[in-house]
Amino acid sequence: MAKNMRFASFNIDVSNKQVVRESGYHEFPCCVPRWMKIPGGPYGIGPVYDALPDCKELNETKRMEKAAQDLAISGMWIAEDDGVLNPRTVKVGPRRIIVANSTDSMKPLLTGADFNVAFTAEERLQASIRKIMMADQLQPQDGPAMTATEVHVRVALIRQLLGPVYGRFQAEYLQPLVVRCFGIAFRAGVFPQPPESLQNASFNVRYISPLARAQQLEDVTAIERLGANVANLAVIDQEVVDLVDTDEATRVVADALGVPAKVIRSTDAVADLRERRRKSQAEAQQQALMMQAGSEAAGAAGQTAGAALGKQLAGG
């Protein structure tokens, strides 16, 4: 019997009404994501739910088109039962001879089918289904490389269309799946034992999929716009630059773009680098001042010696 597990599991013999096995799970073993939820109920629906009427209508239209196609290819005939031709037994086909009283006893009949109506209806239904399934809005870019503005617009569109869906998908599918897999791997000894400071601590999962990156690119766009506006305002007032923490802005942009952590220096490394740079600049400035003072002293001494020599020559 499983103990100290959050979720119980029972195998029941229905015919004998007996519990044949009792166990449990540390984490919920099933992931049930929903595209969207029906208000007031637990069940979920998706785009196919909205597109189902159009799908059924399209299938029915195709069925009627196939029937009309059969009539258009095979033809439909009208025959007169004149005592010579028996329409009930005659069979129309290639290399057949049909005995009739006259040529008017049997002739083709126009069906009145219009394939253009079927084609128009199919195109309309297919366009509606593609729109509901967002296939026409999320189609891949096959043309030339997009500009930065086009990329931002496309990312904004994807974020607008799939943002709410991605949030629910992340909460109802990715998060339980990661927690379940991590728990199984941890209990199997795949991961080493954590230090005491991390015992019984919760963890957060960071997703690096393209859609997750697309959501984070909103921060990058906002920072870029802020930088452009601050640069314009700095022409009028330089102190406006003090409002922006450029170090933190750079770290946010690097994180959103998925830059490897080893590329970005730590806070302590940046502080040490800047301190060494300040010391180097101070030493260089001090040396420049000393050289300037030495040059001025040498110039003053030369002027004094020249004046004394001039006096001696004048007195001589």
Q: For residue 1, is pLDDT > 60? A: no
Stretch 127-135: mean pLDDT, rounded? 88
For 245-286, the pLDDT digits (tens) are 888 989 888 887 778 888 888 888 888 988 998 988 888 888
Where does residue 125 rank: exposed (0-12), middle (13-18), buried (19+ CB within 10 A)? Answer: buried
Maximum mean pLDDT: which of 64-68, 85-89, 200-204:
64-68
pLDDT of residue 114: 82
Q: For residue 146, is pLDDT > 80? A: no
Q: CA–CA separation, 108 vs 78, rounded Å?
A: 6
Minimum mean pLDDT among 39-53, 109-123, 127-141, 209-223: which range?
209-223
Q: CA–CA separation, 31 vs 173, rounded Å?
A: 5
Question: Could you tell me the pLDDT band of residue 315, with boundaries at 50, 70 and 90?
Answer: low
Q: What is the residue-averaged pLDDT of the chain?
A: 81
For 158-196, the pLDDT digits (tens) are 777 777 787 788 888 888 999 899 989 988 989 888 888
Asked whether the beta carbons of 264 and 254 are under 8 A apart, the reply is yes
Asked whether the beta carbons of 100 and 84 are under 8 A apart, the reply is yes
Q: For residue 306, is pLDDT > 70? A: no
pLDDT of residue 302: 60
168 three-class SS:
helix
280 three-class SS:
helix
Q: For residue 128, is pLDDT > 80? A: yes
Percent of the chain having pLDDT more than 90? 15
- In this predicted model, which residue has the larger pLDDT, 304 or 291? 291
Q: For residue 100, is pLDDT > 90? A: no
Q: How far apart are the first and last CA of the chain?
A: 124
Q: For residue 58, is pLDDT > 90? A: yes
Can you list the positions of beta strands (E) in the chain? 7-13, 18-25, 36-37, 44-45, 77-79, 106-108
Q: What are phi and psi of 206, to 5 degrees?
A: -110, 125
- In this predicted model, which residue has the larger pLDDT, 4 or 127? 127
Question: Could you tell me the pLDDT band of residue 139, with boundaries at 50, 70 and 90?
Answer: low
Percent of the chain having pLDDT more than 70? 79
Q: For residue 288, is pLDDT > 70? A: yes
pLDDT of residue 120: 92
Minimum mean pLDDT among 134-148, 171-185, 302-316: which range?
302-316
Question: Could you tell me the pLDDT band of residue 61, with boundaries at 50, 70 and 90?
Answer: very high
Question: Could you tell me the pLDDT band of residue 309, with boundaries at 50, 70 and 90?
Answer: low
